[in-house]
Structure 1
Amino acid sequence: MKQAQVCIVGGGSVGLTLALGLAKANISVVVVDAAAKQTPPSAEYGMRVSALSIASQTLLEQLNVWPHIMAQRACAYTHMDVRDADSFGKIAFNSQQLELENLGHIVENDIIRYALTKELEQQANATLLFDSSYQQIHQTDSDVFITLNNGEPIIAKLLVAADGANSKIRQQFNMALSFQDYDHHALVATVKTTEPHANTARQVFLPTGPLAFLPLSDAHTHSIVWSSSPAHCDELLAMDDSTFNKAVMAAIDGQCGLCTVQSKRVAFPLKMRYAQQWVAGKVVLIGDAAHTIHPLAGLGMNLGLKDAAYLIALLSDDSKEFASERTLRDYERSRKLDAQKHIAMMQGLKELFAGSHPIKKLIRGAGLSLVDNLGPIKQLFAKQAIGK
């Protein structure tokens, strides 16, 4: 039998960040994850990347994870370039204008997870159970009982569901979910270009959906995320490499020269999910189990890390009663409000930039140009984009 103050189901980046923060606050923690332990990153770039905000970087620095990340691969971006392909609108800003060293870093998700795992293995009060899954969960007023598939029991004061967008724990405890299909699939791939990326994160809004070019550690290599209709995504997946290369270069308007795809292409459906209830007794949701959002602003990982940071702070300060109802309701109230705000913002942006209606085109073009030309508003927009 294993006993811990907190059991976390789900060993992705958000769950591991929470585990590490709690362990460093002298809170005992067990992580249960059905996936295998993250292996050292290979020479090839991973398919899934995140645009980590400065706030996320600060959290990972505090947890001593950032040096592990930088020892592997990460690309600081200093410029952002956002355009509407169907109008005259454009906004561009850089870190110097905001008196910052950079605007954030593009990091492969596998590297984040590997770095967190390495640091967690040094914590005496953290237990990592990879290749493990659970068969039963029961709770009382004061404890949660988790039975693993091998029959081993775990007793904890709090169970955190970090088990992803299709969270089985959320379903088991009947935590209501608001749901909307964005009617978009996201195609991801690694692309090399003849012109260097110059540490610029680019995004162009096309009539079919947004295309992001995210700079990687190699000066000519980008991770792309192309959000489009399922039918258009199927067309892009079916293209041979040569045709796809031309399509990508045309979509980005040749900003980086000729494009050559370096990886396989993978697409996945995009859905908005928002849990109406984040707490059920001693069970709490975090990260994608609580919310998923359109990737057009790269907010998903950062929102999850903000969940983790807030819960770490609350539980570390729980001196009288650990994981009290008041503490968990505080977490739920604060983080739900932030998630709601960002989900609404992404929905508004998606609707505004969708399609080629003349009035929409005028609003998009005039709006982006206005922001680009008015210093204070532009700084506000830029700070929102980098999570400040």
Structure 2
Amino acid sequence: MALQRTQVLIVGGGMVGLALAIGLAKAGRKVTVVERSETPGEMPEQTSLRVSAINAGVAQWLSELGAWQRLPTDRCAPYHGMSVWEHDSFGKIEFTAEQADLASLGTILENQVLVAALWQQAEEVGVQLIAGVDIETPEYHESDVSVALINGKGNGNGNGDVILAQLLVAADGARSQLRDHVGTPIIHRDYEQQGLVATIESEEPHAGIARQVFHAGGPLALLPMADAKQSSIVWSLPTLEAQAMCALSAEEFSQKLTVASNNCMGMLRPVSERVSFPLRMQYAQTWVHGRQVLVGDAAHTIHPLAGQGANLGFGDAFHLVQQLTSLGTLNGQWDNTELNRALRRYERARKAAAVRHIATMEGFHQLFTGSNPIVKMGRSLGLSLVNQTNPVKDFFLRQASELG
């Protein structure tokens, strides 16, 4: 058993944890990342199903970190327009990047591709990366946290090695073991929906436009990929309906998807498997526990209908970097009181951001769920009003450029 010391230990080598690690390492902090999967730094050859819409503000920060430049251009899909409407109705909103004075409204990226680029950049800037290991229950002390590594898989870093860190960051996702271990209370809501994801090919090119059509059972998002005729779909459906859709033949699914999209790009056909996952909102009531802090999905998850989940998590990482890099150290050690103040400032700011996003998503979910004809007429009128009112439209356009 070996003992290693680090300033910040991040458990979870996903997008948010790695961005945080790079930001801290570039500011001169000693950072270690522990990740369960064995090969997070390998660029996937095949197109992966889970994608994120990265806005301009996040892209700029990732560029400053040096990670954006590592993305293969043939896997990046900037989108320049957005079209949102209600199925079988006249209500519609349309945005363009030009209206926001941006080169694009955002970029659709496969999550695994972005993780690989971030992992490679983290390695470049000196982050200690430990893959293929899990952790035992941490031991919390007044000025540090100790964590034992287990299940080492070929890299020699498991088998009881212990890491002693001044700060433990839980970036281990929506089912965070670190969050649950300290008994953090969670506010949650099960939408009784599943998000069906797949890669599809359209008869007509997507023209760099992200599309979203609202149905009584949930929205269908069509996100443009790098290939001019391929899109990634996220279709929010009642649980049983989502499962039934996954079980359809490719031809049957193609027909239902094309109808659901209002034939916006001609015939749509799946070119990948179909997978669904439960849609839930979660919000941790406490983000700081001594020398442990939550970021990303460990702290909050939101409905994917506006595609802001990843950007919200990157906002956490950005603001935590700001707070931690503003702290001085004595002989490499953070003062307990000063560190706690910094973590509380981070918690207050990011809780407020998360609550705003959750409230907005709840509002959208309530507004666009159900098929009552009177309510549907009101929704259509509201969409038309938003499309014609610059101050309201400007609010939505700001979401394409703000970081967190």
| Class of the TM-score when normalised by the shorter of the 2 chains | over 0.9
CA distance in 1, matches of 2:386, 2:245: 33
User: What's the secondary structure of 1:324's corresponding residue?
Assistant: helix
User: What's the secondary structure of 1:141's corresponding residue?
Assistant: coil
CA distance in 2, matches of 1:43, 1:118: 16
CA contact (8 A) 1:181 1:272 kept: yes
Asked if 1:146 is matched to 2:161, the reply is no
Instruction: Give the drift of 1:139.
Output: 1.1
User: What's the secondary structure of 2:71's corresponding residue?
Assistant: helix
For residues 102-139 of structure 1, the C-alpha deviation after alignment (integer angstroms, 9 at most, x for no partner) is 10000000111000111111123x11110011113011
Asked if 1:378 is matched to 2:393, the reply is yes
Q: In structure 1, what is the equivalent of residue 156 of structure 2?
A: none
Q: Which amino acid aligns with 2:390?
A: G
Q: In structure 1, what is the equivalent of residue 117 of structure 2?
A: 115
Q: In structure 1, what is the equivalent of residue 286 of structure 2?
A: 277
Change beyond 3 A, Cα 1:356–1:387: farther
Equivalent residue in structure 2 for 1:196, among 201, 205, 210: 205
CA contact (8 A) 2:210 2:222 kept: yes
Change beyond 3 A, Cα 1:42–1:15: closer
Q: In structure 2, what is the equivalent of residue 169 of structure 1?
A: 178
Instruction: Give the drift of 1:385.
Output: 5.3
Instruction: Give the drift of 1:6.
Output: 0.3
Equivalent residue in structure 2 for 1:35, among 34, 37, 45: 37
CA contact (8 A) 1:79 1:95 kept: yes
| 1:53-132 alignment runs, 5 A limit | 53-71=55-73, 73-124=75-126, 126-132=127-133
| 1:143-292 alignment runs, 5 A limit | 143-149=144-150, 150-292=159-301
CA distance in 2, matches of 1:199, 1:230: 30
What do you get for the CA RMSD once the two structures are aligned? Answer: 1.3
| 1:289-300 alignment runs, 5 A limit | 289-300=298-309
Q: In structure 2, what is the equivalent of residue 136 of structure 1?
A: 137
Q: Which amino acid aligns with 1:91?
A: I
CA distance in 1, matches of 2:379, 2:291: 46
CA distance in 2, matches of 1:157, 1:250: 55
CA distance in 1, matches of 2:45, 2:11: 30
User: What's the secondary structure of 1:355's corresponding residue?
Assistant: coil
CA contact (8 A) 2:210 2:221 kept: yes
Q: In structure 2, what is the equivalent of residue 18 of structure 1?
A: 20
CA distance in 2, matches of 1:95, 1:295: 21
Number of equivalenced pairs = 387
Equivalent residue in structure 1 for 2:321, among 312, 315, 327: 312
Asked if 1:350 is matched to 2:351, the reply is no
Gaps of at least 5 residues in structure 2 are 151-158
Asked if 1:340 is matched to 2:355, the reply is yes
Higher alpha-carbon deviation: 289-298 or 360-369: 360-369
CA distance in 1, matches of 2:391, 2:351: 29
Q: TM-score, normalised by structure 1?
A: 0.97
CA distance in 2, matches of 1:2, 1:28: 11
Q: Which amino acid aligns with 2:380?
A: G
CA contact (8 A) 1:371 1:377 kept: yes
CA contact (8 A) 2:199 2:230 kept: yes
User: What's the secondary structure of 1:312's corresponding residue?
Assistant: helix
User: What's the secondary structure of 1:174's corresponding residue?
Assistant: coil
CA distance in 2, matches of 1:148, 1:374: 55
Q: TM-score, normalised by structure 2?
A: 0.93
Change beyond 3 A, Cα 1:80–1:244: same
Instruction: Give the drift of 1:259.
Output: 1.1
CA distance in 2, matches of 1:339, 1:74: 27
Gaps of at least 5 residues in structure 1 are none
For residues 124-161 of structure 1, the C-alpha deviation after alignment (integer angstroms, 9 at most, x for no partner) is 3x111100111130111111111111110100100000
